[in-house]
Every structure is written in C-alpha cells, then in structure tokens.
Chain A
Amino acid sequence: MSAPKTIPKDAQVMMQILKDMGVTEYEPRVINQMLEFTYRYVTTIIEDAKIYATHAKKSNVDADDIKLAIQCRMDQSFTSPPPRDFLLEVARQKNQTPLPLIKPYTGPRLPPDRYCLTAPNYRLKSIQKKVSSSAGRITVPRISVGAVSSRPSTPTLGTPSVQSVSTKVGAPVSLTGQRFTVQIPSASQTATTKPTTPSTPAVSNVLINQSLIGSKNILITTNMVSQSTGGDSLKRKHEDDDDYDAL
C-alpha cells in the first residue's frame, strides 16, 4: 500500500498558517490535531448558525447567523480572563482586609470541612430487617439457591449456634470489597425443608470497603436481625438476588 505522495490541500494550508505565526518546529501530528480542531469548530459554528437561521424563519444561512453563532460560542467556551480594571478593583477590596491572625496549636490548618476533600465519598449500603420477637437470637439464613419462594410468616425458631458465628468471624476473611454473609445451619427449622430458607433472614449485606476498620466488621456480623414479615417479600427478593452475587 503506497502512501500518498502529496499532502492534502488543507494540511498544506495549515502548515502555511503555522509558518506565518512563527512556529517553525513542531511534531508532524500537530497538523492533524490542528485540522481536527478546525473541522470540529467550524462544524459546530455552522450547525449553530443553521439553528439560528431556522429560528428566524430564514431559508438560507447568512453572515449574521454565523456572526451570532461565533459570538455565542465565544462567550461559552473561549472565555477570556476578566479585564484589568475589574481585577484592580477586586484586588483593592481584597487587599484592604488585614491578614488574619493565626491561632496557635490548632493542628493541621485546613479550611472548614465543607471546603476540603477529606469527607468520605462513599456510603455504606446496609439493609436492616425487622427484629424478630425472640430477642437475643441470632439467625442467619442460608445462602439461597434457585428461585425465590414464599416465605412463611412465622418467625424462625432457629437457635443460634454461636460457635459457627464466631468461627466464621474468626476466620481470616479477606474483606476486600466482598459481600459478607454468614451461614448458620438452623438447627431447629421446623416447617419448611426447602433449601430456600424460611424466613428470617436478616441478612446484613454490606459492601465492605477496604478502609473500614476491622472492628466494625465484627460488629456487623453479630448484629444480624432476623425476621421478616410477608410484607417485604418483594424486598427480600432483591436481597436474594444480591446474595447470589456473593457466590
């Protein structure tokens, strides 16, 4: 494939412009960049001008439309710094106030928090379920597999097996950005034998961020709230799908 021997005309024009403006050394890609900019700019202006012409119910685009388009675009994208007299006036006002005294022993001197970037830019998503009537019980649903099924409205009677909780918690978990659900085989599941578990569920699905301090993790796992009524079956569906993710 032979490269074209002659440079296209508009590239030649651009080279001439660069020469006229005194730019003698430049990388070859500069021509392409300048041409792209030119095309984009001219296209934008002409499109704007067409809009203005149709707005004024003219059939053709004329010089006034182009002038208006250029002016509007200038005020929007290619703004220039404020004029000198304005700056001098602003400076005069600003410079009249005396320099503020510095309070000693104030630690890192930063502006008020709303002007800093030190606030966390994430929010913890925690799903709280209604607490079951039997207090002090920690129940955790099994990770559900398969379709969502109906939920019995009776509260669970599963007795918490604390050991598994603690072991689960104690295990070195890599908490990096993963869902954390604890599964306890509920010993005394009466009614349903479906794999999809009954009720309960208080899953505290939290998206654990790396910077969360360790102690908080422990707190979450033991705070499982059980119980849910049929009322929020819809919500539960969501969560089950979320549980899915953890796998």
Chain B
Amino acid sequence: MAAVQGGMVDAKDETDIKKEPTSDGFGNNHANDARVLTASPGSSAAAGNNKPAAGAPEEQQTLLAVLQFLRKNKLSESAEILRREAGLPEEVLDPKGSDSTGSGQGGSTEVDGEDASSLLSRVTLPTPGGAKAPSKAGEDQPDVNVVLSAYSQQGDPALYEVYYSGLKKFIESVLDCHRAELSQVFYPLFVHMYLELVYNNHESEAKAFFEKFSGDQECYYEEDLRILSSLTKKEHMRGNETLLDFRTSKFVLRISRDSYQLLKRHLQERQNNQIWNIIQEHLYIDIFDGMLRSKSQIDAMSGSLAGEAKREANKAKVYYGLLKEPEIELPLDDEDEEADNEEGKPKKKKPKKDSTGSKSKKQDPNAPSQTRIPLPELKDSDKLDKIMYLKESTKRVRLGPDNLPSICFYTFLNAYQGLTAVDMTDDSSLIAGGFADSTVRVWSVTPKKLRKVKTAADLNLIDKESDDVLERIMDDKTASESKCLHGHSGPVYGISFSPDRNYVLSSSEDGTVRLWSLLTFTCLVGYKGHNYPVWDTQFSPYGYYFVSGGHDRVARLWATDHHQPLRIFAGHLADVTCTRFHPNANYVATGSSDRTIRLWDVLTGNCVRIFTGHKGPIHALAFSPNGKFLASGATDGRVLLWDIGHGLMVGELKGHTDTIYSLRFSRDGEILASGSMDNTVRLWDAMKAFDDLETDDFTAATGHIHLQDNSQELLLGTYMTKSTPVIHLHFTRRNLLLAAGAYNP
C-alpha cells in the first residue's frame, strides 16, 4: 500500500512538468492513463484536460478504477474532486459493478489488456520481491486488481481457448513428478474461465470452450460438469447460489514450492499475463516446502467444490476428549441402613465402579473443561438412566474381528419409498420413522406399549404420594404399539430422540424443526429459521441443545427453550446434508453437498477443521466413542476416516457400490458398521484401522497422507438384505447391531 502511494506521490511531482503537452493525449491511451493517475490528487488543471476524454468508454473505465482506488484509500476529497471534474455519476462503485459495466462496454482491444498488465506491473513492482509477492499484492488490493483484471478478461474471449491449451501443453511437457501437482490447476481454471465467459455473455465462445476441454477433466468432477453444461446464459447463474459462491471464493490448491516456481516462471516469462491474472484472482495456492505429492495422494484429498483445505484451516486446537462422567452412586442391594459414621461424616456408600467409568481423576488435556459450554444439570431421572446404562454396559459383549456382532434388521413394510428418516433411542426401546407424507410415527420395540399421559382432570384424582406415581400418570386406555404424529407440511428428512426419551425432534422440507413430546404425543414447538428444506437434525448427547442443517447452506445450533438459533455455522458452499454432535457436545460436524466436512466449535461458532476428499455429497457421519476420530460416508461409496486432533485423513474403506446412508461405531469403538443403498451392511475393523498410524511431524505439518490400500483386510463381513437399503444403524448397549430400512422391491 505504502509503496504504491509513494509511487503516486512521485508521479505527482511530474505533473507540473508534463502539463503542457497533455492536450493531444487522446490517442496515447497509456500516457493518458498515467496522467489520470497522477492528476487525481487534486490537480484540477489536468483533470480538466481529461474531461472531453471521459466520454470514451476506456477512459470511463480507468476513471472508475481510479475512483474506486481513491475511495478505498480514504482519499475522499480527492475522489470527490475527480468525480466532479470528470463528470461521473453519483453512484458508489463496487468491484462487481465495475465488472459488469466493464462487460457491458463490449470487448475492448488488446491495448487495454496491455495497459492493465502494465498498470498491474506498476502496482506490483515496488512491493518487495519474493515467491509469493504477486499473490500477496493481489490480496492487499483486491478492488483495483479486480477492476483491472476485468479489463484483461475482456481481453478477447476467443483467446481463452488459446490460453488454456497453451497451459495444457506446458503442463504436459514438465517432468512427471511435477505434472501430477500442476494438473490440479486444470479443473478450477476450466470452471472459472467458463463461468467468466458465461457471466460476460459470450455464449458461443463459452460453449466452444466447454466442448473442447470438458473431456480432459478428472472423472470425479463429472457431476459438476454436467450441471455446468446446462448453464449457458448469465440468467441461469442467478438462482444457483452454489455456483455464485464458487465464482467469488478462491479455490485452494496445495502445490509444492518447486512446482509452483516452475509454473510461475512459465507464465511470467511469456507475457501470459491474462492467464496469470485469472490464476491470481480465482485460485489460492497454498505452497508447502518438501516432497512432491503423487497422483494418488492428490486424488485422495481432492474432489471438493472449494479445492482442498488450507493448512491454517486445520491448525486450531480441538478438544476432542470426552467430558468426565459424573459420579453416580449405585444403590447397593443390601445394607442401606448401615450407620457407622463415628465422625459424623455423611454416610458414604462406596460406588460400584465398573470398567466404563472414568478412573483417572486428572483432567484429560485434550478434553474440554466441564463448563466450557453450559450443559443442563442431571435430574433424578437422568441419574436413574445412567445407573441403568452402567448396569447394561457390564453385560456388554466384547466385539472384535473374531467376535462379530449379531445384526437384527427392522424392515419397514408398505412404506412405498416414503421412509425418509429413522432414529432409535439409546436404550433401543423406541423407533421413530419420518415419512414422505409428512408424518412421524413412533413404535415401541419392547413389549411395553406407548401410553399417553392422563388428561388434567384425571391427574387431579391420582395419589401423588404413591411410589409408582410415574406409572399412574399414564393412561392405559391409550396404550398402543405405535403412535402417529401429524403436523409437518412436507416430507420429514431428519429425526432425533432426546437422550432422556421425553422428546423427539423432526426436521422437514417445510423448513421447520418440530419438537414433539413423547408423554402427550403432541407437538410442542415449531422452530422456524431455515426457510428451506432442513435435511438433518440431531439432539446433543446431553439433551437441551440440537443442531439442524438445510438447503440454505448453514447449520444452526438451537436450545429447546429459545425460539431462535444460538449459533449459525455458515461457510459451506452447498446444502448441509448431515449434522452430528461430538460426544462431548462441544463440537458439531457437518457434511455437505459441496463434498467437504467441517467441524465447528459450539462455543465460538468458528470452523476448526475442514476435511476434503469425498467425491460426492456426504450423507453419513459418525464420531468414534473416544471422540478422536470421525468416519464419513458419501454417495461415492467410500468411507473415509479422519483424525480430528491432527486434521488428517487416516483411512479409506472401499467396498460399497452405492451411497452410504448410515455409519455407526460399536460401543467401545472396535467395529465400524456401514449401511448403504446397495442393500448391504458392512463391518470394518476400526481398531486395526486406527492402530498403526504414523503421524510424525512431517505428516502433520504438510498434510501428506499415506493411505494404505488395506480395505480388504479391514472388511470383516458383508451382509446383504433382500432389496432393502439400510438407512439407519444402531448398536444396543450390549453391542447388538440393529439396522433399519424400508423394503423396496
């Protein structure tokens, strides 16, 4: 900034000398531009000379660019004077505006392109040299750069093909080791150039460009290319928020320093400034020092709509440890009445510790503090639940590669493809199904039927002091196996039970999330915030909070007693399709149609991790019980395993042939079960997958991953259903696997 201003000041001294011969400056665009630049800091004479020249469109562009620059640097008086003298209209100019006015002017000639580059070089030359200087300068002065590059992109649309094929030829000619890395540039460059052509209304050139080069792209971008092929006019882009975001955000590439030097040298030596400008504007090149990446390594991490993740994005500290379980005293069957407290201390019953209780008193350094986020207190009923939980977990079966779980499948019959969401309570006593006809139906899986609470009149009559008051408040006349909840006005896409089994949440295409009571089986609250379909919702592991994600590309954190969200997690480029809480309730993972997974901090709302690598929208997420790892499944049929602490991909499980809709870790984290549209449930050895991880410093620093191709060894079993896609998986407290799906002949 300072360097540029210095430049201007220097030029200003020249005005007095150069004032006389300015009158014939029309033909000489370059000289005129220089004069405009120098004239702006308040020299009215020169500005007056430029007035007749302002009529020409190129002059208008330059004037607007300069005006923008002045405003940005807060030289408001100078800006005013320039504006007045040049006779420019009042409206405020923004880069996009200048972009469109620029495009509206029609194609300008090569001369302007050269001017732009020369102006650009004048701007960047004074800045300190270095490998990253051009991109840095570009980032410091985005407005001027954008405006100026609006020039250069107008530089003949017909030449885009030439630029692209030139680059292609260059990249094909480099050494093998560099080629893989530099080929990453093709896809984002192709899409951005195509979108520029479409946005600036060069329809035929855009079509020709697309036909020529779309076949060269990687196979996993096929879906995107198909959508692009139907976009031929600017109006088509208007409603498509994802593409608009893509156009304005920077695609991140991770290239090693050597390859980057190669590329830069090539583009700068041959005066290929246009393509260099495009690269600077639309791509963010994250340079790392060290070994080059191989094609397979690159392929594993690429595929998302925004490129890969910058290294800084995955550097924040994440508290992935679990919260300490509160000490619950198990009621002993005997000697409740033992009274020996000689010292008058309160009676201490030794709590029966079992293996699942936390033995260590020390604070886990990776665990968040208990009060990091406010959590509801434990009620008596919660304590009873916990006791039940501990009792059940003593009877838990230890799973392993030689001891696979039994699988019990709940098939929804006669759903006619209307079953859109399933959830089960933690103790596996209730199943809820969300349907496309906007109903939610709750079933009791145990012989105990579902009962409603009695009406207020009857409640007055019961004996409130009796021991079994909780049984007496239930109205046996209303007992039934299932209850149907009506209220939504669109298909129900997400369902979640609360941990205390009092509430169930459902999210629907009508944009609302509804809270239903499981005591009265009526709807209590409708949370309106997303105005677009809500694809998923989940209660936090401790109740009270819940998260929802939808078509509006954000996930929201709510509390049951606030009618508005507490946190908004914005950052995805496309719909949020899957939302899951971390076991310690401090983080939320969201999977999206832009093929990335983001981890958000509930306390601050910041995105602390970005995981790229899937080649399709993500539909399933699962945290491991120890909180360290995340498993994700998408439409590409792969399950990817992520280390949250380091922010790296640690495993890839290939095997499914269709979209994976459900993932679940067993209760102790030894087995990962995945259910898919290909009508199978597969069991994977999670213990082994996480066992041999070499996360040395180099890996952590650069993010290079070395994935072993051991999917076959990790696969413990494939279980086929009879044409029933598996959309929900649940391990009971004793490690029996339950699965649910709708029969689809």
Contacts and interface: CB of A to CB of B under 8 A. Distances in A.
Interface of A: 20-22, 74, 78-85, 87-88, 90-91, 94-95, 97, 99-102, 104-105, 108-112, 115-118, 211, 213-216
Nearest to B602: A99
B567 A215 contact: no
12 contacts: A22-B226, A79-B531, A88-B570, A91-B571, A91-B605, A94-B567, A100-B559, A109-B544, A110-B561, A111-B563, A117-B522, A117-B525
Interface stretch (B70-78, B344-352, B373-381, B691-699): B373-381
B489 to A, nearest CB: 14
Nearest to A90: B568
Given A84-B553, A87-B570, A97-B566, 11 more contacts: A20-B230, A78-B239, A81-B241, A81-B553, A91-B571, A95-B604, A95-B605, A100-B559, A109-B544, A111-B525, A117-B525
Contact of B560 (A82, A87, A110): A110
Nearest to A93: B568
Interface in B534-559: 544, 551-554, 559
Contacts of A118: 522, 524
Nearest to B604: A95
Interface residues of B, number: 55
Given A21-B226, A82-B552, A84-B553, A100 B560 contact: no
B565 interface: yes
A110 B570 contact: no
Interface centre among A99, A105, A213 (most CB of B within 10 A): A99
A7 B226 CA distance: 27
Contacts of A116: 524-525
A215 B457 contact: yes
B374 A99 contact: yes
A215 B525 CA distance: 29
B10 interface: no
Contacts of A111: 525, 560-563
B276 interface: no
Contact of B241 (A74, A83, A90): A83
Contacts of B603: 99
Nearest to A112: B563
Contacts of A104: 376-377
Nearest to A95: B605
B98 to A, nearest CB: 17
Interface of B: 223, 226, 230, 238-241, 244-245, 248-249, 373-377, 455-458, 460, 487, 502, 515, 517, 522-526, 531-532, 544, 551-554, 559-563, 565-571, 573, 602-606
Contacts of B230: 20-21
Contacts of A211: 455
Interface centre among B375, B487, B524, B573 (most CB of A within 10 A): B524
A121 B276 CA distance: 65
A115 B435 CA distance: 25
Contacts of A85: 248
Contacts of A216: 457
A242 B523 CA distance: 34
Chain B CB within 10 Å, residue with most, of A87, A100, A118, A213: A87
Contact of A87 (B240, B375, B487, B554): B554
Given A78-B239, A101-B374, A214-B457, A84 B248 contact: yes
Most B CB within 10 A of own CB, among A74, A81, A90, A116 = A81
Contacts of B517: 108
Contacts of A100: 374, 559, 562, 566
